[in-house]
Structures are given as C-alpha cells and as structure tokens.
Amino acid sequence: IRLHCIYLSIYLLFARINLSMLKPSLSDLGEPPCSVQQ
C-alpha cells in the first residue's frame, strides 16, 4: 500500500466532513467532493 495514497484518502475524508459541515447544500447535490477532486 502506498503511503501517499493513505494520506490522500484521509485528507479526502476530512475534506468531505468539513465540506458537509460548512456547506450542507453540497450534500443535497448528491455529489461527494472526492469524486470532484479525482
């Protein structure tokens, strides 16, 4: 398992949580931020 992939997955996880807390409207769109960044 590549280490940077683990850090990236953790970063995307926290990013998704932060976006859902700061901007609930993004959750209504049904598109997770990780899919947009990829």
**Mean pLDDT, residues 5-32 taken together:** 73
What is the average pLDDT score of the chain? 69
Entry pTM: 0.43
Q: Give the residue extent of every domain in the chain.
A: 3-37
Average the pLDDT over each of 1-5, 15-19, 27-31 and give the range with the smallest value: 27-31
Q: CA 22, CA 33: separation in Å to the nearest integer?
A: 13
26 CB contacts (<8 Å, ≥6 apart)?
Answer: 19, 20, 33
Residue with the larger pLDDT of the pair 2 and 33 = 2
DSSP string, 1-38: --HHHHHHHHHHHHHHHHHHHH-THHHHHT--HHHHH-
Looking at residue 33, what is its pLDDT?
54
